[in-house]
Amino acid sequence: MSRSPGLRVLDALEGVRATLWPRPLAPLTPWAFLVPALLLTGLLVAALVPLADASLRQLDRATFRLDESWSLANYAAVLARPVYGVMALRTLGGALIVTAVTLLLAFPYAWLMVRTARPALRRLLLISLFLPFFIGQVVRAYGWLVVLGQQGLANSLLAALGLPPLTILYTFPGVLVGLVQYMLPFAVLMLAPALTAVPEEVELASAGLGATPLRTLWRVVLPLARPGLVAAGVVVFTLTLTDFAMPEIMGGGTNDFIASAVYDAFFQLGDPGLGGAIAILMTAVGSLAVGAVLALFGLGTLGYVEERR
Amino acid sequence: MSRGWLLWLLVGLVVLDLAFLALPTLVVLIASFTPGTIIAFPPEGLSLRWYAALLDRPDFLRALWRSLLVGLVCTALAVPIGTLAALALARFRLRGGTALQVYLLLPFTIPLVVSGIGLMLVFGQLGWLGRVWPVGVAACVINLPFMIWAVAAAVNHLDPDLENAAQSLGAPPTHAFVTVTLPAVMPGIVTGALVMFILAVNEFLVSLMLVDARTVTLPVLVYNAIRSIITPDLAAVSAVYVGLALVAILLLDRLVGLDIFLRSRKS
More confident residue, A125 or B232: A125
CB B122 within 8 A of CB A50: yes
Domain carrying residue B168:
56-262
Dihedral sign for Cα atoms in the order B197, B202, B203, B209:
positive
Query: Which domain CATH number covers B122?
Result: 1.10.3720.10
Task: Tell me the H-state helices in chain B.
Answer: 5-32, 49-55, 58-91, 97-104, 106-109, 112-126, 133-157, 160-168, 173-176, 182-202, 205-210, 218-228, 232-255
Q: Are the beta carbons of B262 and A113 separated by less than 8 Å?
A: yes
Any idea which of A250-259, B39-48, B107-116, B196-205 has the lowest mean pLDDT?
B39-48
* A161-206 per-position pLDDT tens digit: 988 888 888 999 999 999 999 999 999 999 998 899 888 888 888 8
Q: Are the beta carbons of B175 and A275 separated by less than 8 Å?
A: no
Query: Is there a domain that residue B35 lies in?
Result: no
Smallest Cβ–Cβ distance between B88 and the set A33, A45, A196 belongs to A33
Query: Is there a domain that residue B15 lies in?
Result: no
- As a whole number, mean pLDDT of residues A70-85 equals 93
Q: Is A237 on the interface with B (CB under 8 A)?
A: no
Q: Is B156 on the interface with A (CB under 8 A)?
A: yes
Residue A142 confidence (pLDDT) above 80: yes
Altogether, the residues listed in chain A come to a count of 309
pLDDT at B27: 92
- Dihedral, CA of residue A100, residue A105, residue A111 and residue A117, to nearest 10: 180
Q: Is B8 on the interface with A (CB under 8 A)?
A: no
Altogether, the residues listed in chain B come to a count of 267
* A281-291 per-position pLDDT tens digit: 999 998 898 88
Query: Is there a domain that residue B107 lies in?
Result: yes
Question: Rounded mean pLDDT of chain A?
Answer: 90
Q: Are the beta carbons of B84 and A308 separated by less than 8 Å?
A: no
Query: Is there a domain that residue B267 lies in?
Result: no
User: Read out DSSP for B143-193?
Assistant: HHHHHHHHHHHHHHHS-HHHHHHHHHTT--HHHHIIIIIHHHHHHHHHHHH
- As a whole number, mean pLDDT of residues B181-208 equals 94
**Considering all CA atoms of chain B, what is the largest pairwise distance in Å, rounded to the nearest integer?**
71
Around Cβ B36, how many Cβ atoms within 10 Å? 12
pLDDT at B3: 60
pLDDT at A108: 95
pLDDT at A99: 97
Amino acid at position A123, single letter: R
Residue B266 confidence (pLDDT) above 50: yes
Q: Is A226 on the interface with B (CB under 8 A)?
A: no
pLDDT at A68: 84
What chain A holds in terms of domains, given with CATH numbers, is 75-112+169-302 (1.10.3720.10)
How much of chain B, in percent, has pLDDT values that exceed 90? 62
Q: Are the beta carbons of A30 and B94 separated by less than 8 Å?
A: yes
Q: How confident is the model at residue B1 (pLDDT cuts 50, 70, 90)?
A: very low
Identity of the highest mean pLDDT range in B35-39, B122-126, B153-157: B122-126
CA-CA distance, A122 to B177, in Å (whole number)? 34
CA-CA distance, A123 to A107, in Å (whole number)? 17
Which residues partner with A65 through β-bridges? A60
Question: Rounded mean pLDDT of chain B?
Answer: 90
More confident residue, A76 or A69: A76
- As a whole number, mean pLDDT of residues A57-68 equals 85
pLDDT at A309: 41
- As a whole number, mean pLDDT of residues A226-251 equals 92
Residues with Cβ within 8 Å of residue A91, at least 6 apart in sequence:
A241, A257, A258
CA dist A34 to A221, B5, B93, Å? 36, 50, 13
pLDDT at A307: 56
- As a whole number, mean pLDDT of residues B170-198 equals 89
Q: How confident is the model at residue B228 (pLDDT cuts 50, 70, 90)?
A: low
Tally of structural domains, chain B:
1
Amino acid at position A228, single letter: G
More confident residue, A53 or A205: A53
Q: Are the beta carbons of B17 and A108 separated by less than 8 Å?
A: yes
Residue A301 confidence (pLDDT) above 60: yes
Query: Is there a domain that residue B47 lies in?
Result: no
CB A266 within 8 A of CB B101: no
CA dist B93 to A28, A286, A308, B88, B89, Å? 12, 29, 9, 9, 8
Query: Is there a domain that residue B142 lies in?
Result: yes
Q: How confident is the model at residue B267 (pLDDT cuts 50, 70, 90)?
A: very low
CA-CA distance, A146 to A140, in Å (whole number)? 10
Q: Is B214 on the interface with A (CB under 8 A)?
A: no
Identity of the highest mean pLDDT range in A93-107, B79-93, B217-231: A93-107
Q: Which of A233, A250, A253 is nearest to A241 (CA)?
A: A233
Query: Is there a domain that residue B199 lies in?
Result: yes
Q: How confident is the model at residue B171 (pLDDT cuts 50, 70, 90)?
A: confident
More confident residue, B108 or B120: B120
Residue A306 confidence (pLDDT) above 70: no
More confident residue, A149 or A108: A108
Among A182, A218, A305, the residue to mutate for chain B (most B Cβ within 10 A): A305
Among B30, B73, B114, the residue to mutate for chain A (most A Cβ within 10 A): B114
Query: Is there a domain that residue B49 lies in?
Result: no
Helix (H, G, I), strand (E, B), or coil: what is residue A65?
strand
Q: Which of A35, A142, A265 is nearest to B39 (CA)?
A: A142
pLDDT at B123: 96
Residue B44 confidence (pLDDT) above 70: yes
